[in-house]
Amino acid sequence: MADETADGEDVAGSKAPLIEHLTELRSRLFKTIFVFFVVFIISFIFSKQIFNFLVEPLAAVEAKNGRDLTMIYTALHEVFFTRLKVSFFAALFITSPFFLSQIYKFAAPGLYKNERKAFLPFLAATPILFIAGAALVYYFIFPRAWGFLASYQDFTDGATTLQLLPKVNEYLSLSMKLIFAFGLSFQLPVALTLLARAGIVSSQMLAKNRKYAIVIAFVAAAVLTPPDPFSQIGLGLPILLLYEVSIILARIIERKRAEKEREREAELDS
């Protein structure tokens, strides 16, 4: 009977923390959804200004060539749904740090103090690197890629007139695809450094497979970007640079790990 009572108490004790964790998870999900919804509504109000900001690089290219930019839509609902998409992407971009902080706060109680300190730099680096990737594509890639692609309006010999009339929805889809492709690609140091901390990869392994990384980087750039050299090289080269940064960070982690092991061995010997 005593054993049965003890087993019952263990089961009850194990259920209580599980219910508490689920309750906390529900609370944090509710907060995240609520914040996202509020930012989405605000973004929808300013969706015209946000879309104009995204269109500015193409408008500048057309103005440089002495043309006014005219955008079209071919479905009655296209502009409305484009505004919804703009609002969704903007809300996702703005609230991502809050979402990451909620994940950290949920997982932090189960981590040791040194693990929490080690995780915080990665948490801070994630949105910063994403913004860096988005800024690179907006200020460097867009003007050159759009200029290259728009130059094909002069492809004919004059007998036929070609005029660029980009669709609203297609332009937004292409722009956001590039922004998210660059932003997510810039997370490479975070991902590889976390794998190095977990012991899954090593700096030696990363350096040894550098030639494969070069091929994969440019294949990914060819798939994720438009068929122009500026976008593909503009994405491939930063990925390779970030890969080299990941190797350096992995070496730093391995050096610190080796120093701690030596200190631990010295304490045991003493």
The model's pLDDT over 25-43, given as tens digits with 9 standing for 90+, comes to 888 889 999 999 999 999 9
Q: Is residue 25 part of a domain?
A: yes
**Same domain for 230 and 140?**
no
Distance (Å, rounded) from C-alpha 125 to C-alpha 131? Answer: 10
Q: Is residue 6 part of a domain?
A: yes
- Distances 145 to 138, 150, 219 between C-alpha atoms, Å: 10, 8, 18
**Domain limits for position 223:** 187-270
Alpha helices in 46-77 (DSSP H): 47-64
**Same domain for 16 and 95?**
yes
User: Average pLDDT, stretch 59-76?
Assistant: 89
**Same domain for 192 and 251?**
yes
Q: Is residue 158 part of a domain?
A: yes
Distance (Å, rounded) from C-alpha 191 to C-alpha 43? Answer: 30
Domain termination residue (choose one: 119, 136, 166): 166
Residue 33's nearest CA partner among 21, 41, 22 is 41
**Same domain for 135 and 10?**
yes
Per-residue confidence band for 54, with pLDDT thresholds at 50, 70 and 90: very high
**Same domain for 158 and 256?**
no
pLDDT value at 4 more than 50: no
- Distances 267 to 219, 257, 258, 261 between C-alpha atoms, Å: 50, 15, 14, 10
Q: What is the pLDDT of residue 229?
A: 78
Q: Is residue 147 part of a domain?
A: yes
Q: What is the pLDDT of residue 72?
A: 92
Burial tier of 254 (Cβ tally within 10 Å: 0-12, 13-18, 19+): middle
Q: How many domains does the chain have?
A: 2
Q: Is residue 14 part of a domain?
A: yes
**Same domain for 16 and 147?**
yes
Q: Is residue 172 part of a domain?
A: no
Q: Is residue 179 part of a domain?
A: no
101-139 per-position pLDDT tens digit: 888 777 777 666 766 776 777 788 888 889 999 999 999
Beta bridge partners of 167: 72
Distance (Å, rounded) from C-alpha 96 to C-alpha 126? Answer: 9
pTM: 0.78
**Same domain for 135 and 32?**
yes
Beta bridge partners of 72: 167
Q: What is the pLDDT of residue 112?
A: 66
pLDDT value at 60 more than 70: yes
